[in-house]
Structure 1
Amino acid sequence: MITPTHELPATGAPRPEFPRPDWERADWLSLNGAWSFRLNPGSDGQEELWQEQKESEFDAQIIVPFSWVSPLSGIGRNEKGTGWYRRGIRWSPAQTGSRLFLCFGAVDYSCDVWINGTHAGSHAGAYGSFELEVTGLWRTGSDNVIVVRAEDCDYSYQARGKQGYGELRGIWQPVWLEARCSNYIKSAAFATRIDGSVSVTATIEAKQAGAAVLAFDFDNGAVRHSEELQLSEGANEISVSFAVDEPRLWSPDTPSLYEGEVRLASEAGEDAVSTYFGIREIGTALFGDRSYRWITLNGKPVYLNGTLDQSYHPTGYFTYPSDEEMRDEIYLMKRLGLNFVRIHIKPEEPRKLYWADKLGILVMEDMPCFWGNPDEAARAAYEREAREVIERDRNHPSIFSWVMFNETWGLKTDDQAPDQTRDWVPANRYLPETQQWVRDIYRWAKQLDPTRLVEDNSPCNWDHVESDLNTWHFYKNGYEIVREHVEGVVDQTFPGSTLNYCEGFTQSDAPLMNSECGNVWGIEGGAGDSDIAWHYRYMLNEFRRHDKMCGFVFTEFRDVTNEFNGYYRLNGTEKRFGYEAFVPGMTLTDLHSPDFIVIDAPPCQTVDASAAVQVALLRSSFDDRHFGKTLRLSWELWFDDLGVRTVADQGSVALEWNGYGVSPLAPLTVRMPDQDAVAVLGLKLSTLEGEAVMRNFTTFDVRSKAHDDAAEESSRRISVPVGQFKSQTFPYQWNAIQGHKTNGGGAGMFEYEIALPDQAELGFLSSVDIYFEAGAKRLLVRNIEGDVQIKADISFMHGADAHTERNSNTYYMTDEERHESRIEVCIDGEPVESFLLPDDPADSRGVLSWHYQTVANKLEEAGSYGYLCKVSVPGRIAAKLDRTRKLLLTIRTDEGGVALYGRNAGRYPIDLLVSCN
């Protein structure tokens, strides 16, 4: 496997930048780096009074800010319990008389802090940031000792989220010291409107009452405003409004930020905070005569092309090693054409949210769930932590939605199950009183932050109660199954419908979107590590067919430890979707275009040679940039004729591009080739100036009938099924895809006896050419030891072993990693040709391997394909064959093995083909 390149900086402490670019002061000190550490897994350690112990009593060193479970922490122990941290530090604020605060990005779960042996404060909650004022405990100009006790015992009431891939334990976000004026700005929440009006609700903490000026200076002085205040001692709540002339609106395409400072000047001195805001409005609206709403950004419909981000790192777990890696995460999403991301079951680190703001991607941020019963302790802990998260993150313009719960996790009550006499009855229930609490949480969040959309519960059990977004989850595989499912949901989505809502609740006109989808769990036993390219393309075509749908969340951005349906591998390496092989220049971004041509057809269909086939098309538009213009739709029907790209039909049509939503276009009628072929109908939508807007394609398995006058021709082309070998010598050999694919694992050879046309059929052999499709053969554990069926259940959410190479569905999707093999071709024992087979690939290019899968919920080497190999037999051997009229074909391989593809497998509709002339 390709090893991750992620590592800590060679010198200095990790994560040296200020942890919160959205709220930054100049006088601060990072405490990231090496701390003394002791882990007490069997005891809470408090009775041992570790806060009073000397350095020598701590038996290890940990690198903050990494969870003690993660490799980058230097500890790497997945043990719950109590972690004790100790660090000595000497630091003095730049300004005499400053107040000093010790700040924590996040600590899991309960935390106590001592400064120089005196208890400074406590906090509970794994995801919220907190700070402790330590002014009176700090020894300016001399050494200080900080001791932190972090306890994480996985109590059922804890908001843990989805930590199965790697636990959060102890300190897992940056720690720093910060100096502030005695009167300081504690917080400032910005609310913007697209007319340029900005409202700010600020909290000022004052030790000294009196007159003050609160000033705003943004965009290099272009935006300025000040307010005269009269402060009282303690907390002061301030509301301020100002306007921005000719506002630049924030969006994923134009992520304009107004960066600058908020300053408080008083007799106590001046407090300055660097911050920023983005001017944008999130909402929903009715358009035309529709009875359902669309999601809007800045007053216009927006189609959300999104992905689920577990925000998991292979070495830091839920903590990124560097700021650059967080920035690159957003870049990697945007280069796919995505415009939003759902951060799954956790709030994101503030610095990663900063890069979402800066580079431009919308964020749906989840609240972390607890896994026990929704009792009083769990509810209180959840509500406290949810408030911390929303109040910390609400200034990020990228965040457009809060998701309060996911898939009813933590909302079911174990001890109030219904009658257990039927084994299909679930072991616990989502009780009406819990449903009402969820509704109350939705309304509380709306009151706390009315500028964003709020979802009560992102459901997979049809269990909304009240929500700004009517979303649903599905994990299904197979074109017909996905089509039927999506149509069913769309048809039953209307105000008053009971679909997707708990008993006693009904749908409003809230926008419909998918908030989790993919084929990872749509296959019996899980998809393992297999191709997603085929499924992804037809699924997105199905979504864009429906005017009601406002977007989707694909599971997921990167592979994780037991789910392998990411756009990227966990280590950041790329997967190859192969779309460019069908339409030149096509990438994933084409499937994420706001202007979209829907091909309302299966991903592949079997048709007769020379048939005229009608293909239905739709236009789907969620962007007005081309409204009022003419776009050109060009199309080409082509096929690969034994290595020669051959165009069978083509044309273009001008389209007047106007209006949001989905509407029909005139269908295309295309004439199929007159021979067996995998025909591709490629579409390209472009401006009249030639700029590509989007590309799409569909495929056809073209099958020819015997021609009346083809006797002579057929005698010259001998087709031998790949499974009809005379002998083989591989240590591992098996057939797949209904016998149309033959595999040889390890070093070995296949031998085929092939009869050539006799002299009555063909008087003279002037040339003999042999064609076949072959790929390398990567041996998996299941090929050697047999497969293992794993039950896909909730344990996968907690990191259960997927036994990937034992999964019968696994066939690794093409990626940067290669598995080469070299084969040698012999005729009657004499070597005539050799080929380097670059890989054992599987992706959308394996059209026939996908088309001839027998069932949708099980995969048999789906999407696999090889490389076209042509052997021109030398004249001296052809002369011998002219006499004998038979040949012994041997395909010998090294340890890389070989897979041979027949008529109904792979990329080319041929078996072993011998052409004689």
Structure 2
Amino acid sequence: PNFNSECGNVWGYKGSTGDVDWSWDYHRMMDAFRRHPAICGWLYTEHHDVINEWNGYWRYDRSEKFTGLEELAAGMTLRDLHAPYYLAVGDAPCREVEASSAVKVPLWASIMAEIPGRGRRLIMRATLHGWDTLGRPRVWRTWAKDLRATSWMSQAIEPLDVVMPDRSGLAVLAIALEEPTGLVLQRNFTTFLVTGGRDVGEKERLRLVRIDPKSFARAEWSVKQWNVLGGLKVNGAGAGFFEYRVPWPEDLDPAAVTGGAFVIEASAKQLFGKDREGVPEIAGDFMRGKGTHDPSRNPNSYPMTDTDTYPSAVAIRVAGQAVGTFDLPDDPADHRGILSWHAQPQDGTLKEAGSYGYLLRAAVGPAALKRAAKAKEIVIRLEVDSSLPGGLA
């Protein structure tokens, strides 16, 4: 048997990672280890953050980091990634698939336990759930399948045949490995970016107008404004605003519109060391106690969600009318940032990996819509006030 004497989340990237969501690569690593029968164990570094590595389960002061696993597979914790009875699901953390397509999802059973007799009957319960492109939660299918586990079993088992939703969105295939009594032995999941599906507005009397995040007409921020991932995400640090001007659809009769909503994924935006300009280089060797060190200085870093929050608030105006003010509790980054992880350039660098926002829905009343129709454009302004300059992403 082989033993991996040291593994962590700081390798495989140019210049290490700094402070980053460890749970994504850790999940990949555990699934990979369990697919190799010759591997009998591994040693992960670090148990908690140390002075030069920030990939610990806990912070340097032993405060908690949050993975978000429980929101993707109900009840899942780090313990499930260390379970003696283990199912590895899928062959990648996130795959892009066509809507309505039939997908074979590989399964690997890894049993690190002695089972007497001819084996043990287990039940795998699977749920395909997720969100459509408006962020509305969906459960598309649930089913169960019997498995037989034997001592020290490590092998591929019959794959799951999964038909993807007919709408675009983000799907999570979550499994629970159970005893017949209902005792859960392990949980796991994989995800799918579903594309090419019918629009969410079809058959719902909705007209959907999509806005490219980087297409803002104006932006002013007190500290800094910049875009990442080719403009899939736009950032403003401090106080300020983004303003969008969206043409009113030519074929949309204003008299037929009774109401609207503005939907956005947004978070606070902390200015980390890697994004600060004019910051002097670290003086001395911090490994020997010299100089100062900021774990967010590494260009690959994006500090993981923890107990230290960075709040902000955004006020939304449509056609000059206030339609809502929303608290943004933090600037989070963890396993829930599926889309930002999936969008990474795969070139040995990380660009705000694991980051994500909160789903905001602002109702837009008839008066604002009437004004927008008359002007033939919808002016949307997202503003962060100087009283809480927590930025916006």
In the TM superposition, 1:541-556 aligns within 5 A as 541-556=31-46
1:585 aligned to 70, 75, 92, which one?
75
Instruction: Give CA deviations for 1:785-815 in whole Å, capped at 9, x if unaligned.
Output: 268899xxxx776567654232211211001
Residue in 1 that maps onto 2:342:
851
Q: Distance in 2 between matches of 1:875 and 1:574?
A: 46
In the TM superposition, 1:144-543 aligns within 5 A as 511-543=1-33
Instruction: Give CA deviations for 1:118-156 in whole Å, capped at 9, x if unaligned.
Output: xxxxxxxxxxxxxxxxxxxxxxxxxxxxxxxxxxxxxxx
1:764 aligns with 2:256: yes
Letter in 2 for 1:848: L
How many Å apart are 1:522 and its aligned residue?
2.6
Gapped regions of structure 1 (runs ≥ 5): 1-510, 900-917
Residue in 1 that maps onto 2:192:
700
Residue in 2 that maps onto 1:886:
377
Q: Distance in 1 between matches of 2:58 and 2:252?
A: 58
Residue in 1 that maps onto 2:56:
566
1:749 aligns with 2:241: yes
Q: Distance in 2 between matches of 1:773 and 1:515?
A: 41
How many Å apart are 1:513 and its aligned residue?
1.0
Residue in 2 that maps onto 1:865:
356
Q: Are the structure 2 counterparts of residues 773 and 625 from structure 1 closer, same or farther at C-alpha, using a change threshold of 3 Å?
A: same
Residue in 2 that maps onto 1:405:
none
Q: Distance in 1 between matches of 2:102 and 2:65?
A: 36
Q: Distance in 2 between matches of 1:689 and 1:539?
A: 30
Instruction: Give CA deviations for 1:221-269 in whole Å, capped at 9, x if unaligned.
Output: xxxxxxxxxxxxxxxxxxxxxxxxxxxxxxxxxxxxxxxxxxxxxxxxx
Q: Distance in 1 between matches of 2:280 and 2:94?
A: 31
How many Å apart are 1:524 and its aligned residue?
1.4
2:367 aligned to 860, 867, 876, which one?
876
Residue in 2 that maps onto 1:617:
107
Q: Distance in 2 between matches of 1:753 and 1:626?
A: 68
* Aligned-residue identity in percent: 39
In the TM superposition, 1:647-658 aligns within 5 A as 647-658=139-150
Gapped regions of structure 2 (runs ≥ 5): none
Q: Distance in 1 between matches of 2:380 and 2:90?
A: 44
Q: Distance in 2 between matches of 1:683 and 1:759?
A: 45
Q: Are the structure 2 counterparts of residues 517 and 797 from structure 1 closer, same or farther at C-alpha, using a change threshold of 3 Å?
A: farther
Q: Distance in 1 between matches of 2:281 and 2:210?
A: 37
Q: Are the structure 2 counterparts of residues 650 and 796 from structure 1 closer, same or farther at C-alpha, using a change threshold of 3 Å?
A: farther
How many Å apart are 1:625 and its aligned residue?
5.7
1:896 aligns with 2:390: yes
Larger Rg: 1
Q: Is the 8 A contact 1:583 1:697 kept in 2?
A: yes
Residue in 2 that maps onto 1:603:
93
3-state SS of 2:54 partner: coil
Q: Distance in 2 between matches of 1:646 and 1:823?
A: 27
Q: Are the structure 2 counterparts of residues 884 and 785 from structure 1 closer, same or farther at C-alpha, using a change threshold of 3 Å?
A: closer
How many Å apart are 1:739 and its aligned residue?
1.3
Q: Distance in 1 between matches of 2:90 and 2:154?
A: 12
Q: Distance in 2 between matches of 1:594 and 1:601?
A: 20
Q: Are the structure 2 counterparts of residues 629 and 788 from structure 1 closer, same or farther at C-alpha, using a change threshold of 3 Å?
A: farther
Q: Distance in 1 between matches of 2:50 and 2:149?
A: 41
Q: Is the 8 A contact 1:747 1:896 kept in 2?
A: yes
In the TM superposition, 1:23-34 aligns within 5 A as none
| Aligned CA-pair RMSD | 2.4
Q: Is the 8 A contact 1:788 1:806 kept in 2?
A: no
Residue in 2 that maps onto 1:636:
127
Q: Are the structure 2 counterparts of residues 760 and 745 from structure 1 closer, same or farther at C-alpha, using a change threshold of 3 Å?
A: closer
Q: Distance in 1 between matches of 2:156 and 2:280?
A: 47
Q: Are the structure 2 counterparts of residues 822 and 684 from structure 1 closer, same or farther at C-alpha, using a change threshold of 3 Å?
A: same
Residue in 2 that maps onto 1:223:
none
Bigger RCO (CA 8 Å, 6+ sep): 2
Instruction: Give CA deviations for 1:822-844 in whole Å, capped at 9, x if unaligned.
Output: 11001122221010011100011
Matched length: 383
Q: Are the structure 2 counterparts of residues 623 and 725 from structure 1 closer, same or farther at C-alpha, using a change threshold of 3 Å?
A: same
Residue in 2 that maps onto 1:835:
326
Q: Is the 8 A contact 1:562 1:799 kept in 2?
A: no
Q: Are the structure 2 counterparts of residues 853 and 884 from structure 1 closer, same or farther at C-alpha, using a change threshold of 3 Å?
A: same
1:738 aligns with 2:230: yes
2:172 aligned to 671, 674, 680, which one?
680
Q: Is the 8 A contact 2:116 2:151 kept in 1?
A: no
Q: Distance in 1 between matches of 2:359 and 2:252?
A: 31
How many Å apart are 1:711 and its aligned residue?
9.0
Q: Distance in 2 between matches of 1:700 and 1:761?
A: 37
How many Å apart are 1:898 and its aligned residue?
0.4
Q: Distance in 1 between matches of 2:139 and 2:55?
A: 34
3-state SS of 2:24 partner: helix
Q: Is the 8 A contact 1:621 1:660 kept in 2?
A: yes
Q: Distance in 1 between matches of 2:305 and 2:96?
A: 25
Instruction: Give CA deviations for 1:302-340 in whole Å, capped at 9, x if unaligned.
Output: xxxxxxxxxxxxxxxxxxxxxxxxxxxxxxxxxxxxxxx
Instruction: Give CA deviations for 1:517-541 in whole Å, capped at 9, x if unaligned.
Output: 1121332122011111100001100
Residue in 2 that maps onto 1:47:
none
3-state SS of 1:891 partner: strand
How many Å apart are 1:571 and its aligned residue?
0.6
Q: Distance in 2 between matches of 1:760 and 1:658?
A: 62
Q: Distance in 1 between matches of 2:305 and 2:63?
A: 11
How many Å apart are 1:600 and its aligned residue?
4.1
How many Å apart are 1:782 and its aligned residue?
2.9
2:317 aligned to 809, 826, 830, which one?
826
Q: Distance in 1 between matches of 2:56 and 2:116?
A: 32
Q: Distance in 2 between matches of 1:749 and 1:703?
A: 31
Q: Distance in 2 between matches of 1:534 and 1:766?
A: 43
1:660 aligns with 2:152: yes
Q: Are the structure 2 counterparts of residues 831 and 693 from structure 1 closer, same or farther at C-alpha, using a change threshold of 3 Å?
A: same
Residue in 2 that maps onto 1:809:
300
Q: Distance in 1 between matches of 2:142 and 2:209?
A: 32
Residue in 2 that maps onto 1:62:
none
Q: Distance in 2 between matches of 1:545 and 1:751?
A: 49
How many Å apart are 1:817 and its aligned residue?
0.9
How many Å apart are 1:645 and its aligned residue?
2.1
Q: Distance in 2 between matches of 1:565 and 1:618?
A: 27
Q: Distance in 1 between matches of 2:256 and 2:250?
A: 9
In the TM superposition, 1:80-119 aligns within 5 A as none
Q: Distance in 2 between matches of 1:823 and 1:626?
A: 60
Q: Is the 8 A contact 1:788 1:808 kept in 2?
A: no
Letter in 1 for 2:377: K
Q: Distance in 2 between matches of 1:706 and 1:617?
A: 29
How many Å apart are 1:724 and its aligned residue?
0.5
Q: Distance in 2 between matches of 1:811 and 1:592?
A: 25
How many Å apart are 1:575 and its aligned residue?
0.5
Instruction: Give CA deviations for 1:643-683 in whole Å, capped at 9, x if unaligned.
Output: 43211222111112222130221100111111221110101
